[in-house]
Amino acid sequence: MTGVLILGGTGDARRLASALAGSCRVVSSLAGRVREPLLPPGEVRIGGFGGVAGLVSYLRSEEFDAVVDATHPFAAQMTLHAVAACSRLGVPLLVLQRPGWVSVPGDHWVRVPTLADAAEVLPSLGHRVLLTTGRQGVGVFAGSDQWFLIRTVDPPSAVLPPHSEVLLARGPFTRADEVALLRSRHIDVVVTKDSGGSATYPKLEAARELGLPVLMVNRPPLPAGVDTVATPEQAMGWLATKSGVGGCPHHS
């Protein structure tokens, strides 16, 4: 049966799965790092593949005609595995990745390449930190002396900074609520990843309004030569170019 594997976990992945539903077999694969993920329509598998070899085996057994990597922009290892596995089998691969954020007048962003760099630069920017880099990156800041408000969807499992508070919350957030949060905790610097999208952008608007610096971790670069699009609609168009009907490819 004609089928598309979506490496998901993002809002764009869910929107693509919804758009493809009913036109072909769609399987969305989630990493399983969020306790209660928002599930897309269609078939869902949760958990890793066991590296490149495991993904090759899965693609071969399920006979997918195309793979869309719509994982988080910072899921670099999954993207590398997808490139290697699809290249080995000759399966078309598309990376669906929303555009990164772009600063505007009034923003005070300091960009760094990695979380480790962020931890090194942070002391020069502020003392009370809103940290929104995801629960897996919290441990990088365990040795910091600043006070942290750590906002994540699920509780962090890493060692926390000695002066910290955990706030469990899932976006979308509003600008007014973000301003109120920053003021109530006396935040003087925001640390985040360049995830892009609108759901968590209001924290950047709030930082701009309050004149706060933002320490922004840049995205890892995508592998060279990979087809990329920025929206689910563009992904549908790409799938249609693979000799598909209704957005889905079929066996040639």
Query: Of the given ranges (125-134, 228-237, 238-247), which has the lowest mean pLDDT?
Result: 238-247
Confidence (pLDDT) at 88: 96
For residue 23, what pLDDT is reported? 84
* Strands (E) located in the chain: 3-7, 25-30, 43-46, 66-69, 93-96, 109-112, 128-132, 147-152, 164-168, 189-193, 214-217, 227-229
Q: Are 9 and 136 in contact (CB under 8 A)?
A: no
Q: Convert the pLDDT of each residue in 168-221 to its tens digit.
A: 998 899 999 999 999 999 999 999 999 998 889 999 999 999 999 999 999 999
Residue type, 233: E
H or E, element range at 185: none
* Cβ atoms of 79 and 69 closer than 8 Å: yes
Q: Report whether pLDDT(245) > 80.
A: no
Determine the pLDDT at residue 247: 56
Give the distance from CA 97 to its chain's centroid.
Answer: 9
Predicted local distance difference test score (pLDDT) of residue 31: 81
More confident residue, 249 or 58: 58
Give domain limits for the chain: 3-99+221-241, 109-217
Per the listing, tokens 């706030």 go with 167
Nearest Cα to 149, choosing from 212, 218, 73, 219? 212
What are 227's strand-pairing partners? 94
pLDDT for the residue 170: 87
User: What confidence tens digit (pLDDT) does each residue in 4-42 have?
Assistant: 999 998 889 999 999 998 888 999 999 866 666 678 878
Q: CB burial class (10 A; 0-12, 13-18, 19+) of residue 17?
A: buried
Mean pLDDT of the chain: 91
User: What's the rounded mean pLDDT across residues 155-167?
Assistant: 94
pLDDT score of 115:
95
CATH class of 3-99+221-241: alpha beta
pLDDT at 81 > cutoff 80: yes
What's domain 109-217's architecture? Answer: 3-Layer(aba) Sandwich (3.40)
Query: Do 109-217 and 3-99+221-241 fall under one CATH topology?
Result: yes
pLDDT band at 252 (very low <50, low <70, confident <90, very high): very low
pLDDT digits (tens, 9 = 90+) for 96-107: 999 999 999 999
pLDDT bin (cut points 50, 70, 90) of residue 248 is low
